[in-house]
Amino acid sequence: MRDMEVIVPKLRALRKTGIRIAIDDFGTGYCSFTYLKHFPVNTLKIDRSFVGDIRAVGDASIIDAIVAMARGLKLDLIAEGVETRTQLKYLRSQGCREVQGFIFSRPIPAAEFKALLQRNPFVRLVRSDPETEIIASAV
């Protein structure tokens, strides 16, 4: 991340091939607004530390700000660490349509994943390609 003159062209080349680029753990560590300005990013992933106690005023305000910023920059948004219906409901009310977390399942072997998607009331199967991936979205 130190040599932006090298990294940015490489990221742009990857994006041209159809690869989508996400900034993981947005809002923590070394992630800065400079990355949003210069990097060809598609998605921000809200760090689980903000989702953990979503009812806390500070955490909710940070999530609201990240959602508004992502919307303004026309970026996709994923919230990490969603474990409760309260968290899911709040995130959806703020416009965050993609989430990941234990609300769906603890880590499981790939063979069990498709069956989980088919029986989970929060998820619908969008596409299944056994050689690449299973895509699902929150209902």
Question: Predicted confidence band at 10 (pLDDT cuts at 50, 70, 90)?
Answer: very high
What are the beta bridge partners of residue 44? 23, 77
Q: Which two tokens stand for residue 118?
A: 């088919």
Domain map of the chain by residue range? 4-103, 104-139
**Which residue has tokens 């598609």?**
42
What are the beta bridge partners of residue 98? 78
Contacts of 14 (CB under 8 A, 6+ apart): 21
CB of 57 closer than 8 Å to CB of 65? no
Per-residue model confidence as pLDDT tens digits over 91-111:
988 888 888 888 877 787 877
pLDDT at position 12: 92
The answer, yes or no, to whether residue 77 has pLDDT greater than 70, is: yes
Global pTM reads: 0.72
Q: Which long-range contacts (CB under 8 A, 24 or more apart) does 103-110 make?
A: none
Per-residue model confidence as pLDDT tens digits over 14-63:
999 999 888 887 777 666 677 777 788 899 898 888 888 777 666 688 88
- At the fourth CATH level, which superfamily is domain 4-103? EAL domain (3.20.20.450)
